[in-house]
Structure 1
Amino acid sequence: MSSDSTLQCYNRGCGQKYDPATNKDDSCRHHPGEPFFHDAYKGWTCCNKKYTDFTEFLNTKGCSLSKHSNVKPPEPEKPVDVDIPDTEVIEVKPVVKSALERPSLDSALVLMKPQIAPSLLNSINSASVTTENANTDPNAIPLGTICKNGGCGEEYKGPTTNDTTCIHHSGVPIFHEGLKFWSCCQKRTTDFNAFLNQVGCVQGVHLWKKEEGDKSVDCRWDFHQTGTHVVVSVYAKQYCPYKSTVKLNPIRLVINLFFPQQDNGFFNLDIELRGIINIKASQVSMFGTKVEIKLKKAEPGNWSRLEVPKTNKQKTNNTIKNQLVDNITPKVEAVDLDDL
């Protein structure tokens, strides 16, 4: 049968072309569920695995077998705009100025003793066993390793795989207002399956291991507050609690997380707090998926924001020499669609 008779399979996670004459009940490996993106994690509703690396998520093999299908799955419904009536009353509460004298930013930092969850300890023990049994050759590429270039998906099957061309996307994936696209391409879509199957825009060589250099790990973090506490959460996995630290002074929070399984990577966060805290009444908890710092407010009330804007910080010599202030705030992808 000629290639013109082949059809495109639209089952999520498949992306192959098939011959209807040879389409069997187990020809297609795909994901019957929907993709989800939540708290920096990516995964499929039909699987139990979650990922922080987008390329690893894209290369996740399907969990179900069935026949190929050339019927496109329905697109998700677009959110409905709700008109807010002009008569709605919005209550604006004034920010009460602190009655306490603000301490110095250079006050001595106190090393907090964290509460380590059993789930985190179990994951560390499992990782230690895996590391001991793994091949220690730093140049060895395990068979089945997926190319790290976005949109490629090629598996390493031996040295001959390096002779194949890597067709990939040079940019990063963007999800904005229901649209899905690559920053390096003009093509945008609302269909996630079409986004996954979009052919790369550049050719090159396969990347089996991430390039070494800056070993900083990008962790998402946020906060919420009550009348008495501010809770800061850093979402991270596979960090070492014994080599990770959280330090406090009355108006400063310093977090250092160490990732031994990510080439000894690190995450640093150093901010000047908007309000004043009680260090002795504050707590640090380390879980398998996040670090949670519960800061006790020195006086009740609402903080207008968590941190003092950088432009208003007192630039001490110690801060300038020891902190990389340009890399400590969460990174948010902002895309102007009019320029695309």
Structure 2
Amino acid sequence: MAEVKPKFNEHIIQAPKPIESIKRPSADEPLTRLELRVSSSLKQALDKLKLSSNDTKTETDEDNGEIKIGTFCKNGGCTKTFVGPQSNDEVCQYHAGVPIFHEGMKYWSCCKRKTSDFNTFLSQEGCSRGSHLWIKKNDGKKVVPCRHDWHQTGGGVTISIYAKNSVPELSYVEANSTVVNIHIVFDGEKEFQQHLQLWGVIDVQKSYVSLTATKVEVFLKKAEPMTWARLELPQKVAPPPQNKDSEEAQDP
């Protein structure tokens, strides 16, 4: 009797193994500075600023500390300009603290009036009163608010910071798998800082920073292909301490 052969070859198809979620590393891991990529547009803009600075250097030295008309007050949150000696008699309303951006909310550390709207944040009246500051007392940078947002793809997250003419020698972003610290110096004397506890996990070695004439983009490579629910990890709220009297009442 002839052997009956099957018409089709049989193949066993194995179901794909489920992708295991990456265990969240500790936030205390060492931080690494991300690679800076400087665009040609930023290099050209900075070269023009250097030439302009050299042209006005002699004029600045001859001022001998004199306040020019139109000089903005250096106090945080104050938008007044110097119009003459009478400006020194005005009461300056300003914010003594620093701007803070956290989980989409914007506020000053001194009064903590939180808002999600950037223009509303900028228009908040100062919570302190004093004298205008027309000339800086030191060479320190001025921490200022800066508009920023973020978007994501399947493979990465991009944070856009709209800071013009950032200074590559003074700017940096450092990160580990779950934490990012952003420090940008732009427009000569302005400084933007942000600390982020990321919602997901990133691959630091494949992340980088792009500096252009109009903005800074921080690209964070996702360690696993998944959609982030938000940029920052929600902070855990500690439970309120229990009253001793209530604890005694619960005991049988």
Separation in structure 2 between the aligned mates of residue 205 and residue 243 of structure 1, nearest angstrom: 31
SS at match of 1:285: strand
Which structure ranks higher in relative contact order (CA pairs < 8 Å, sequence separation ≥ 6)? 2
Q: What's the counterpart of residue 249 of structure 1?
A: 176
Separation in structure 1 between the aligned mates of residue 237 and residue 87 of structure 2, nearest angstrom: 53
**1:298–1:130 CA distance, 2 compared to 1 (3 A):** same
**1:116 CA drift (Å):** 0.6
Q: Residues 211-290 of structure 1: matches in 2 within 5 Å?
A: 215-259=142-186, 261-262=188-189, 265-290=190-215
Q: Residues 288-303 of structure 1: matches in 2 within 5 Å?
A: 288-303=213-228
**1:153 CA drift (Å):** 6.0
**1:214–1:245 CA distance, 2 compared to 1 (3 A):** closer
Q: What's the counterpart of residue 116 of structure 1?
A: 38
**1:282–1:169 CA distance, 2 compared to 1 (3 A):** same
SS at match of 1:126: helix
The amino acid that maps onto 2:217 is E
What's the % identity of the aligned pairs? 31
Match of 1:139 among 65, 70, 90: 65
Separation in structure 2 between the aligned mates of residue 270 and residue 183 of structure 1, nearest angstrom: 23
Q: What's the counterpart of residue 162 of structure 1?
A: 85
**1:288 CA drift (Å):** 1.4
Match of 1:127 among 49, 52, 75: 49
Q: What's the counterpart of residue 46 of structure 1?
A: none
5+ residue gaps in structure 2?
1-18, 96-114, 239-252
RMSD: 3.9
Separation in structure 2 between the aligned mates of residue 232 and residue 269 of structure 1, nearest angstrom: 11
SS at match of 2:194: strand
Contact 1:151 1:168 in 2 (8 A): no
Separation in structure 2 between the aligned mates of residue 270 and residue 171 of structure 1, nearest angstrom: 24
Q: TM-score, normalised by structure 2?
A: 0.59
Report runs of 4+ in structure 1 exceeding 6 Å deviation.
Answer: 164-169, 210-214
Larger-Rg structure: 2
Query: How many aligned positions are there?
Result: 187
**1:170–1:248 CA distance, 2 compared to 1 (3 A):** closer
Separation in structure 2 between the aligned mates of residue 242 and residue 236 of structure 1, nearest angstrom: 15
**1:106 CA drift (Å):** 1.8
Contact 2:166 2:211 in 1 (8 A): no
**1:280 CA drift (Å):** 2.8
Q: CA-to-partner distance for each residue in 1:26-72, whole Å, 9 max, x for gaps?
A: xxxxxxxxxxxxxxxxxxxxxxxxxxxxxxxxxxxxxxxxxxxxxxx
Contact 2:91 2:132 in 1 (8 A): no
